[in-house]
Amino acid sequence: MNRTMRLNEKMIKGLVKKYGTPLFLIYSSRLMERVKLFRELLPRIEPFYAVKANSHPSILKFFLKNGLGFDVASKNEIETVLKLGGNPEKMIFANTVKSPESLKFAQKSRVLLMTFDSEYELTKIARFCPDAGVIVRIKVPNVGSVVELSLKFGVEPADAVPLLIKAYKMGLKPVGVSFHVGSQCMEVSNFVEALEISSIIFHDALLKKIPLEILDIGGGFPIIHSDSEHDIFPQMAERISTEIDRLFDKNIKIIAEPGRFLVGPACILVTRVIGKSIRNNKHWYYLDDGVYGCLSGIVYDHCKYQYRVFKKGPTQISTLAGPTCDSFDVISISEELPELEFGDIVYVENIGAYSLASATHFNSIPPAKTIFINTGG
């Protein structure tokens, strides 16, 4: 599989001529490749797409068509998936801090599988969604992950079984264990250790007459953002599969919450140069999208994107900046680029996750126009 999508320059320029820029392109063929790869390399694991990564309706419809479940984190995400035809039984409410209103909506909508990581949350669930099946989220190592998630979420593993017993006594149905190794995880040892901890909890819960049915291994599966990076997912998936088979019986349902892995490589942002200057003896190019738009992943997701152009010629170290009035809106200060002119295209691959989802309307500049390119799948 190619590291980056080989773009049809003529097609891209045609889209720019027709729609203008910025453009956010979603390729269905690439979405299909990612789904097939996940299922091929992690055959025991059922993917529940993390809607928060990119909730564009075209993406959700595509995953619905291809039989994926959904990890939802809010009332609005639940409502969005349901309106598109989603099955509530193939959804997990995987936010450990849920409002009473969202729990009431989940109860009404029969989205009854959800995570928790405190006794306070259990009390809230028991009150507002008494039919819920609950999964305890545990704290696990996040070493080497780009975004550390165990700082905010997860109970100590030693507290997991007592909380599951508490859930049972409250009239809820304790069904499993979940964890998250951190976003863009680069250490397979995080998964290995988390799986071992989870298997101990499964064993201890069974001894306490709380048989568990579901293991949710979360997300964090890494993608590459540039040609200089190495794709470690195949080796990581092989190790994860081996450990799952070693530690968990075949009757245990294994699910995951991939977001970035599925949509990251499927999308491209296309921008144009709308301003140009020389500052401190260096070319600055101002694009029509920036960190307040679909390049928000630079801030919120710690992404280091690769910026490409169709133009050829000698290169020089240049700065790219966004279109807003805020001096914080600087995209990169060290890009090797040929000299660009007004209207020249700058595009970014592997930008499908945590980009469009967190884009704002700052300065009343709308996010990029989204184009779904149906190339099969």
Q: Among residues 72, 79, 78, which one has the least CA distance to residue 96? A: 72
Q: How many angstroms separate the Cα of 194 from the Cα of each of 12, 133, 150, 170, 367? A: 43, 22, 12, 27, 38
Which residues have C-beta within 8 Å of that of residue 177, sequence separation ≥ 6? Answer: 135, 136, 137, 138, 160, 198, 201, 202, 212, 214, 215, 216
DSSP 8-state code for residue 138? B
Instruction: Tell me if residue 325 is catalytic.
Output: yes
Strand partners, 173: 133
End-to-end CA distance of the chain: 16
Dihedral over Cα of 84, 90, 96, 99: its sign: positive
In angstroms, the CA 79 to CA 57 distance is 12
Strand partners, 215: 177, 254
Q: Among residues 240, 237, 231, 236, which one has the least CA distance to residue 194? A: 240
In angstroms, the CA 216 to CA 220 distance is 12
Chain Cα centroid distance, residue 335: 26
Strand partners, 276: 285
DSSP 8-state code for residue 23? E
> For the CA atoms of 116, 119, 123, 126, what is the dihedral angle to 10 degrees?
50
Beta carbons of 210 and 160 less than 8 angstroms apart = no
3-class DSSP state of 206: helix
Dihedral over Cα of 327, 331, 334, 336: its sign: negative
In angstroms, the CA 122 to CA 96 distance is 10
**Which residues are designated catalytic?**
325
